[in-house]
Structure 1
């Protein structure tokens, strides 16, 4: 895990990380301090009930996300993002000055105006926050960078929330709250000055100030890539799901666990630590690439531990007086609740980090900030809808544990729906799981696979799972050309069918199927897809490379695209190879987690990619190990 933490020493990441951390901290410090102050001193400020004030404050803070996200996205695409980050920090300091005036004037409208402006500050920073990462990080650093951002944000939320409550209850004059916020904003400005330049991708963009038309335009930018748009919907669902749990912690701690304020802090801290652990583990589990196979893994955990929280919630703990924290921790049922919350957070990290990285990686660079803005708008919309839905169900008499259970079941339904629309997520999960369950894969040179545009990938053929291994390692979806008999193998056929594999037969066996396969390959390459083939034509019977057949020349004659050589090693002798004459005959033949390798060479131009040249290149990449 040294790779992602090493980013904290890099000037291209560390100043930005600290800036966004301080911004998230300040938002929650001021917001929670104001809510606590109005809750316990409501009579000094207004005749409105405290419960209404708390919800009013939450609504005012989130309103700018609907009104100004579209404009914020345009600004981040038109201007240097480092400059925008510094201007946003200047705005933050001015907002704290307005908040101080509100405290001195004892004016609730001025304070609510400051809270609205703080929401505007977060809205303006949102597109900068995520769109700047692909400009400063390499593709193999995006997962680690997003993991640090997500973990840092949740830790900042936790610390800011706690600090705001403590500050509101301990200062003699509430203006000290604004002064504390000003100090944090000033520190954020100083760190923002160290952020390297992030030039505008579209400096000629004309700003459209109409939030309705621009919001719709931004959503359409996101919808141009189906995977990106459904990833945004997945992110928005996560924020709905997570916010629903977080919002119930105070009442759950009081009415279910029978605890006080310290119990609320414990629940929030446990969930936050879980998010941090899951986010940090993403890079190691994904091998530093954007592994969307982790997304279904995360959704499974979010469902299972959400359901278990329903079953684990104790009955009869709440009494007339709150339990002390140590007394609560002596109850086994409370520990089960804490474990569920920790694992909910961890699997939430597995779910959210790859999705953010995928949106950044596959979004059009000139529209990236506006696509992030669309994401922020949908996030806010989903959270509001979730809050209203939860309020309606609780108002109808549903218990909080039952609400958690229903949310977990809905999470399963949403996951099934999304993976049905985009099978790539589920297929990558299956490929990732199969490879992780049987092998320890080491990949080299994955950056040689083009990030966009058509190419043909050629590899040696050692076992029946070669395609699954390559599919699980490739950063982009692949369409494999494979023997029709392998295409029909049970279980593997499900994967191959849904990833668009192209079955092929020899001219002697089925000439029509062969011609159909070549036509499909040509269409796929014309559409800018990646096509992978095994030029040997069949799985090796001795582990050595066989002569590459001329089919690759026919493909390149019709579509002269780059050719990327790949070499698998370590699979000969495994359960899926033909070392005993017949594959899949002796289970656990080499035990579990045997080492295998995938090496990717530099692309060759179509004119240079003769069968003999490709065979020699793949053999050199493979080395001595079969």
Structure 2
């Protein structure tokens, strides 16, 4: 976690973080101050009911995301991003000055107009916010950077919401709010002046000002990469899920827990802190890489904790009048509810942070901002659908806990659907689970695996999960050459098929399959991929290295690429090894969390890549530890 917090000391990240934090803070100070004002003093401004006004405010703020996100994505791709951010902050200052006049004039129309302008400014900032991170951060910093941004955003939402409600409740509250939002806008602009340059991704782009046709084009960009598009759907689903919960906190606190407005604040605080903690834990749990294996883990927690929230919720309507917060906390059921909300928040962080990092890292740089703009449009659409579903189910007689139950079940259905379409998520989850439960993996020399271009990885073969361990350690996808019989094993068959492993058989057994395997290896290396082989040709029965076979020589003679020797240590004697008999015959023979190591040596040239020399390299890397 220290690595991600270290980014806050870097000029390439800290000014941007402060800018977006202050912007989110300011949005929520104004929005909540306006909502509280209209809830308790609506008669001063209009004959409309407070409930209608509050929902109108939500709709007015989100409308610009539909209208302007497509144009904002083009602008973010066409122009230098740090200058664009400073422009949005100057726009924010102007809007806050106008908001001060709206409060002073007690003009409801002008207040709502400022809210619309704030939504417009946020829709312009949105594509820049996420597109600039890959330009200033290395790939191994994307998870940490996104984690800090997400944690900061939810903290800003929480503090801003509380501050807006408190400030407007003071005597002369309108003055306090007017001064606060203008001061925050000025601080945001000052922070933005420190953001380093971020060159335009597509300076020659001709902007299409038609929001309808450009929105459709943005969706085409997002669909260009199937994994990115489904990741965007996952992000949008999270905002759907979150919108359902956040919108129901007031009713849940009042009707189910029997609390007052302080109970609402408590639920919001616990939920926000949970998301912040989950976001910050992502870097540690993913070792700094874009680890999409956390996404299925997150979706499991989102459903399980929501199910328990439904199960453990008290029956609605038990309390005749609102209870003080102390009495609400004195109920045992309240603490279980709070634990569930923390769990939902934490697993929500596990779910959302890798998805944002994946979208950033795999989007085409030339139209990354437009891809993110498409994401923002879908996010807004899903939140509107969430509001409609919530209103519809409540009108049909569902209770708030039952609405949470429906959301939990829908979350499981959506997760299964996405992971069926893109098995890579489930594949990475299996690999991540292996090296975080059965084993604890330490790597050394992992930087010797090339960041780009083809290479052959060679390693000793100790167990049935050797390939999975290497897969977990490598920042790049690896195609393994595997004995064709392993494709018949449950789970491993799924893992290796989805990772595009290359089946091979002994030449005496199936010469055609052997030839196809070598042809596929050559094609993969020509395409710049990583290929891994276990030159022993079989899993060791003794813990010692078996002689390396000549297949490696045939590969490098046909494709002269670097060869990277590696050694696995600590797997001998584990459940998946053949020590003392067949593998996988004695469950948990060494318990859980066994320490294992992957030691990676310097690449060797084609002339040195003989079976004998590579075996000597691997043996030296392995040392005495089996």
- Asked if Structure 1 and Structure 2 have the same fold, meaning a TM-score greater than 0.5 normalized by the shorter chain, the answer is yes
Deviation at 1:453, TM superposition (A): 5.5
Aligned to 2:405: 405
Aligned to 1:325: 325
Deviation at 1:67, TM superposition (A): 1.4
Residues 37-75 of structure 1, C-alpha deviation per residue, up to 9 Å, x if partnerless?
112111211222211111111111111111111222222
The answer to whether the 8 Å contact 1:302/1:344 transfers is yes
Residues 180-204 of structure 1, C-alpha deviation per residue, up to 9 Å, x if partnerless?
1010011111111122222222222
Aligned to 1:246: 246
Paired with 2:579 and 2:289, the residues of 1 have a C-alpha distance of 32
Paired with 1:560 and 1:223, the residues of 2 have a C-alpha distance of 37
Of 150-159 and 46-55, more deviation after overlay is shown by: 46-55
Of 101-110 and 494-503, more deviation after overlay is shown by: 494-503
Q: How is 1:428-467 mapped onto 2 (pairs within 5 angstroms)?
A: 428-450=428-450, 454-467=454-467
Q: How is 1:112-261 mapped onto 2 (pairs within 5 angstroms)?
A: 112-172=112-172, 174-261=174-261
Aligned to 1:354: 354
Q: Structure 2 vs 1, CA of residues 76 and 453 (structure 1 numbering), >3 Å: closer, same or farther?
A: farther
TM (norm. structure 2) is: 0.95
Deviation at 1:311, TM superposition (A): 0.8
Paired with 2:366 and 2:602, the residues of 1 have a C-alpha distance of 28
Deviation at 1:155, TM superposition (A): 0.8
Deviation at 1:555, TM superposition (A): 3.8
Deviation at 1:448, TM superposition (A): 4.6
Aligned to 1:498: 498
The answer to whether the 8 Å contact 2:575/2:586 transfers is yes
* SS of alignment partner, residue 174 of structure 1: helix
Q: Structure 2 vs 1, CA of residues 287 and 34 (structure 1 numbering), >3 Å: closer, same or farther?
A: same
Aligned residues: 626
Deviation at 1:438, TM superposition (A): 1.5
Q: How is 1:277-316 mapped onto 2 (pairs within 5 angstroms)?
A: 277-315=277-315
CA root-mean-square deviation:
2.2
Q: Structure 2 vs 1, CA of residues 166 and 594 (structure 1 numbering), >3 Å: closer, same or farther?
A: same
Q: Structure 2 vs 1, CA of residues 595 and 75 (structure 1 numbering), >3 Å: closer, same or farther?
A: same
Paired with 1:209 and 1:535, the residues of 2 have a C-alpha distance of 58
Aligned to 2:58: 58
Determine whether 1:573 maps to 2:569. Answer: no
* SS of alignment partner, residue 135 of structure 1: helix
Q: Structure 2 vs 1, CA of residues 571 and 387 (structure 1 numbering), >3 Å: closer, same or farther?
A: same
The answer to whether the 8 Å contact 2:283/2:289 transfers is yes
The answer to whether the 8 Å contact 2:255/2:316 transfers is no
Aligned to 2:9: 9
Paired with 1:120 and 1:485, the residues of 2 have a C-alpha distance of 58
Aligned to 1:536: 536
The answer to whether the 8 Å contact 1:291/1:475 transfers is no
Paired with 2:73 and 2:614, the residues of 1 have a C-alpha distance of 45
The answer for unaligned runs of 5 or more in structure 2 is none
Paired with 1:525 and 1:189, the residues of 2 have a C-alpha distance of 49
The answer to whether the 8 Å contact 1:236/1:375 transfers is yes
Residues 551-573 of structure 1, C-alpha deviation per residue, up to 9 Å, x if partnerless?
33444455555544433222223
Q: Structure 2 vs 1, CA of residues 570 and 452 (structure 1 numbering), >3 Å: closer, same or farther?
A: same
Deviation at 1:336, TM superposition (A): 0.9
Deviation at 1:329, TM superposition (A): 0.6
Aligned to 1:31: 31
Of 451-460 and 66-75, more deviation after overlay is shown by: 451-460
Paired with 1:564 and 1:204, the residues of 2 have a C-alpha distance of 42
Aligned to 1:418: 418
Residues 435-462 of structure 1, C-alpha deviation per residue, up to 9 Å, x if partnerless?
2222110123445545566544332212
Determine whether 1:89 maps to 2:72. Answer: no
Q: How is 1:254-273 mapped onto 2 (pairs within 5 angstroms)?
A: 254-273=254-273
Paired with 1:42 and 1:518, the residues of 2 have a C-alpha distance of 75
Paired with 1:596 and 1:411, the residues of 2 have a C-alpha distance of 35
Deviation at 1:116, TM superposition (A): 1.0
Of 451-460 and 480-489, more deviation after overlay is shown by: 451-460
The answer to whether the 8 Å contact 2:316/2:399 transfers is no
Determine whether 1:334 maps to 2:334. Answer: yes
Aligned to 2:43: 43
Aligned to 1:345: 345
Residues 306-358 of structure 1, C-alpha deviation per residue, up to 9 Å, x if partnerless?
11111111015642320110001110111111111110001101111111111
TM (norm. structure 1) is: 0.95
* SS of alignment partner, residue 291 of structure 1: coil
Aligned to 2:388: 388
Of 73-82 and 229-238, more deviation after overlay is shown by: 73-82
The answer to whether the 8 Å contact 1:4/1:141 transfers is yes
The answer to whether the 8 Å contact 2:167/2:173 transfers is no
* SS of alignment partner, residue 457 of structure 1: strand
Paired with 1:510 and 1:230, the residues of 2 have a C-alpha distance of 39
Deviation at 1:208, TM superposition (A): 2.0
The answer to whether the 8 Å contact 1:254/1:318 transfers is no
Aligned to 2:484: 484
